[in-house]
Amino acid sequence: MIDTHCHFDIMPKPEAYIRQKEQAGDIVIGMTNLPSHFKLGIPFIRNYKHIRLALGLHPLLAADNIRETNLFREYINQTSYIGEIGLDFSKACIGTKDVQISVLKELLAALQGKNKIVSVHSRKAEKVLLALLCEYDIKNVIFHWYSGPTALIPEILSKGYYFSINESMTLSNNGRSIIDMIPRNRILTESDAPYNEKSDIKKAMANIQITEAEIFRNFSELLSRVR
């Protein structure tokens, strides 16, 4: 199984979790919410074959951690995976809109010209985020748990971007109408564990009748672009 968006670093026993995934042959990309978390975690991950750690700065933490952008730049060459980064303009977070944008611009500037796989958070900020990704010419983006307007999906696809879907999405009407608009070769799977109550990837695949082989092919295609 392939989990392109997981938060094992905030689980109670991260090492037990990833050891079990590694033994099962699963590929797991661990998000980090701050570059300092990446710095702490990366020494523990290096010996794993299928587990990767992404360098991130979560939009909800951006306002209180502006100086972490320095660490982001410092560690950017230590991984091919970036996440979780993005924007969140939902009610609880709209107050930090401007600082979120300025922090994200710094991250995108640092990413310019680098070949990474980038998992993004876009809640209620899909249009602004997409415009910024285009402005900075960011490639290989995965829209994680997309819940925005379906009208924007064709434009996201036209950039060659992917969508990572989870079990919760496959169980909601809104999620299903989004998934219906995504061609099968642009779908990836994610758990978003432990934040997501319904995070079973096998069930997600069964619910939308997509096979592990298809997901593997999609991920391999994306991976081939950064190698």
Under the rule (CB under 5 A), what is the footprint of Zn ion? 84, 192
Strand partners, 210: none
Token reading at 96:
């930090």
Neighbours of 222 (CB within 10 A): 19
Give the whole-angstrom CA distance, residue 127 versus residue 17: 35
Give the whole-angstrom CA distance, residue 74 versus residue 66: 14
* Sheet (strand 51-53) strand order: 2-6, 27-30, 51-53
CB 168 within 8 A of CB 144: no
